[in-house]
Amino acid sequence: MSDPTNRNTDHWPGATHGMPAPPGWHPGQETGWTQPATPSPADWAPRPDQPAPKKPSKWVPLLVAIALVGTIVVGSVTAISLSNGSNGGATPSGSTTGATDAGIVDVTTFGRQIDSPPNQLFPEGAGTGMVLTSNGEVLTNNHVVQGAWKISVKVPGGSSYTATVVGVDPAHDVALIQLQDASNLETITPGDSTSVSVGDHVSGIGNALGKGGTPAVATGSVTGLNRSITANDPNGSSERLTGMIQTNAHIQPGDSGGALVGTDGQVVGMITAGSDTQTASASATSVGFAIPISTALDVVDQIHAGGGGTVLMGERGYLGVGVEPLDPTTAAQLGLSSGALVTGLQPDGPAAQAGMTTPAVITAVDGKPVNSPESLGPLLHSHTPGQSAQVTWVDQSGSHTATVQLIAGPAV
């Protein structure tokens, strides 16, 4: 992990992770933040007595670069949590739209430094959600909430709610969250995504650029069906999403988890990715992708049924470590060729209590090899808080194996 005192204070630190600065931030305030009781962008405040939050690469949400595969060449696309840009999707000539923002909500996530107390949270990312039930079940992308220690959801023109994760399906990039003490909320109207055709006029609705408030609407048309994209995070891990709806609506960072709506006002897809070249100039071609709403709702049904397949339910097991790819120097020193390099430990967390120190390299969980940081997560996430896991690691004093009791951590 880098020393936060060496950061460039002329820039908001979240910019390197695709996140815009919170309202009121200005250069020189890169010193840390406090978490209000009910988080909202207006309440974010700098704290000169706290260090800037560290951002271990494997704890941040899936702010990924996504390359389009197949016969279409568009450069690259990104999972659209946040970046800079402007809204300006063009409306096709003669098109009409029944776009409505009913049931569209802002999702703000908060992270925390590995060695900080639980109440020291910082704004981490922003996205969009779609309300499925009046009591606050909200559909969004897994990459919107991934790695979050706290999730806040705001209904435009209404209240803010704390949300908990009901279940996620990382393989399909779908998450279902539940707002606490919510009632009488407007909901979306799902449509029939199987009836979508190339050329259909659609609108993308979401929390574009994380600005909050009234959802932004970008109009366009469907330009492709059943597309496959491969998502790669900055550390080289990837996931493949298939069956995607492609659109030329000007999808922007922050729209992730938002609605792709047909002319009848019904939701046909959940916005997931957009071209990272679309904000290069006003004339740049927009390319966006959405998960068909039928696919997303099938995952919701699996979650309601208690999981199975690639669905993970509720809180997942947490070891209390920050990990990075194994560097050649450490690998040579320890005689290893693979593993997850531990660069941070939560005080009194399971790993620290088991005697793990930094630097160390985790090589196995429950006897199954850990070849990289990407392979560590699924092995831990197969456990729930309170369950035990056998962890093997190597440091300069040799190899160690300990049985630890996992605790609750951030969202998967």
CB atoms within 10 A of CB 93: 5
CB atoms within 10 A of CB 329: 9
**Active site (annotated) includes residue 397:** no
Q: Which residues contact 3 (CB under 8 A, 6 or more apart)?
A: none
Task: Report the length, in residues, of the chain.
Answer: 412
Q: What is the DSSP letter of 328?
A: H
Single out the residue of 16, 135, 134, 141 nearest to residue 79, CA to CA. Answer: 141
CB atoms within 10 A of CB 407: 17
Q: Which two tokens stand for residue 354?
A: 């088991």
CA 159 from chain centre, in angstroms, equals 23
**Active site (annotated) includes residue 256:** yes
Please give, one letter per residue, the 3-state secondary structure of 57-69.
CCCCCCCCEEEEC
Catalytic residue among 143, 172, 201, 250: 143
Q: Which residues contact 363 (CB under 8 A, 6 or more apart)?
A: 336, 338, 339, 369, 370, 392, 393, 394, 399
Instruction: Report CA torsion sign: 401, 402, 403, 407.
Output: negative
Catalytic residue among 203, 256, 275, 286: 256
Question: 194 by DSSP, 3-state: which?
Answer: helix
Cα-Cα-Cα-Cα dihedral of 259, 152, 380, 377, to 10°? 50
The rounded distance, in Å, linking the Cα atoms of 143 and 371 is: 23
Catalytic residue among 101, 106, 173, 395: 173
**Active site (annotated) includes residue 143:** yes
User: Where do we find the tokens 């068909």?
Assistant: 292
Cβ pair 79, 272 in contact under 8 A: yes
The rounded distance, in Å, linking the Cα atoms of 31 and 147 is: 21
Residues with a catalytic annotation lie at 143, 173, 256
